[in-house]
């Protein structure tokens, strides 16, 4: 049995992309009722797709968040069903007009996130690589797209966080580090571009989340958490239902200098029972809040 020593205050949020069967107004109430401190807001239908959001919506959501005592942990600008799908259009499309759709979406998301009070938005790590496109071409397009929106991140005061994901341009820790070398010495990028650390994603590609938490010490800007089965197939499970070693992960995280503090549970795979899994995830993770194992 592990003992726990208080080191830093982790704050627990729940991602609204598990609650797409509800409006964002309803999701805010459901997340608060489940006992969470924060909510990650999906900037895509049916919640807060920027072209569909009106000033009165923002005002109403902010009032409801305040009333229910919820903060916004992060805004999810990864999914793009409002135009085409989860990964499309991506930063790495062959067609520059399609790349521009992702760029403009991200620009709008940064400014909407600021209005919602979010410190970060998360985005895909480049996207799928099409046949005939080299990794270098895809990375060049991704870099150019990111550079074009960094002034918006700075103006909005919202950090843009890259989320490594299985099957996309950047899957692994080393790939993220290699890509970020492109921004070495760029003060604007160092301040406004960062890492969305998805625990399950690293596990899916054969990496140890605890080792990566150590590797990225002081460089993690938001965390999404879920469990993954032993076969490492990319299917989000309720923490505790898979095989990730969360004791080891939180032991490292507690000493990693993670200043944001937000840990967002992401269980979009369970839309049909979002309320149940939100409650179960919180019950499992409570032992780690504000603590790190010794």
What pLDDT is attached to residue 290?
61
What pLDDT is attached to residue 120?
98
**For residue 213, is pLDDT > 70?**
yes
List, in sequence order, every residue forming a beta bridge with 76; answer none if it has no partner: 42, 122
- Per-residue pLDDT of 111-146, as tens digits, reads 999 999 999 999 999 999 999 999 999 999 999 999
- What DSSP letter does each residue of 130-194 carry, written as one string? PTT--HHHHHHHHHHHHHHHHHHHHHHT-EEEE---TTSS--SHHHHHHHHGGGTT-HHHHHHEE
What pLDDT is attached to residue 8?
52
- Per-residue pLDDT of 251-274, as tens digits, reads 999 888 887 789 999 999 999 999
DSSP 70: -
- Give the Å distances, CA to CA, from 55 to 59, 109, 189: 6, 14, 30
Share of the chain above pLDDT 90, in %: 91
Reduced to 3 states, what is the DSSP secondary structure of residue 66? helix
Confidence of residue 291 (pLDDT cuts 50, 70, 90): very low
Of the ranges 5-9, 89-93, 102-106, 225-229, which one carries the lowest mean pLDDT score?
5-9
- Per-residue pLDDT of 151-185, as tens digits, reads 999 999 999 999 999 999 999 999 999 999 999 99
**For residue 214, is pLDDT > 90?**
yes
What pLDDT is attached to residue 40?
98
Residue among 119, 125, 106, 149 nearest 264 (CA): 119
* Residue 6 CA neighbour count, 13 Å, CB half: 2
Of the ranges 4-8, 16-20, 98-102, 280-284, which one carries the lowest mean pLDDT score?
4-8
List, in sequence order, every residue forming a beta bridge with 198; answer none if it has no partner: 224
In whole angstroms, what is the distance from residue 293 CA to residue 242 CA? 20
List, in sequence order, every residue forming a beta bridge with 293; answer none if it has no partner: 4
**For residue 2, is pLDDT > 70?**
no
- Per-residue pLDDT of 44-96, as tens digits, reads 999 999 999 999 999 999 999 999 999 999 999 999 999 999 999 999 999 99
Q: What is the mean pLDDT of the chain?
A: 94
């Amino acid at each position: 049995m592990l003992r726990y020593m208080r080191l830093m205050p982790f704050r627990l949020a729940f991602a609204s992309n598990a609650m797409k069967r509800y409006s964002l107004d309803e999701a805010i109430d459901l997340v608060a009722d489940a006992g969470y401190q924060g909510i990650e807001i999906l900037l895509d239908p049916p919640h807060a797709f920027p072209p569909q959001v009106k000033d009165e919506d923002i005002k109403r959501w902010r009032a409801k968040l305040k009333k229910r005592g919820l903060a916004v942990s992060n805004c999810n600008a990864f999914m793009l069903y409002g135009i085409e799908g989860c990964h499309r259009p991506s930063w790495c499309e062959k067609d520059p007009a399609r790349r521009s759709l992702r760029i403009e979406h991200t620009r709008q998301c940064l400014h909407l996130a600021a209005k919602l009070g979010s410190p970060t938005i998360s985005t895909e790590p480049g996207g799928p690589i099409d046949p005939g496109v080299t990794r270098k071409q895809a990375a060049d397009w991704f870099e150019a797209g990111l550079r074009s929106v960094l002034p918006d991140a700075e103006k909005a005061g919202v950090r843009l966080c890259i989320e490594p994901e299985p099957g996309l341009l950047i899957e692994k820790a080393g790939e993220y580090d290699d890509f970020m070398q492109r921004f070495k010495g760029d003060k604007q990028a160092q301040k406004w571009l960062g890492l969305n650390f998805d625990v399950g994603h690293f596990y899916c590609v054969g990496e140890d989340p605890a080792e990566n938490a150590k590797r990225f010490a002081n460089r993690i800007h938001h965390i999404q958490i879920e469990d993954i089965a032993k076969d490492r197939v990319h299917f989000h499970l309720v923490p505790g239902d898979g095989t990730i070693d969360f004791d080891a992960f939180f032991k490292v995280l507690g000493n990693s200098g993670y200043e944001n503090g937000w840990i967002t549970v992401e269980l979009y795979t369970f839309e049909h029972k979002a309320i149940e899994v939100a409650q179960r995830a919180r019950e499992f993770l409570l032992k780690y809040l504000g603590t790190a194992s010794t």
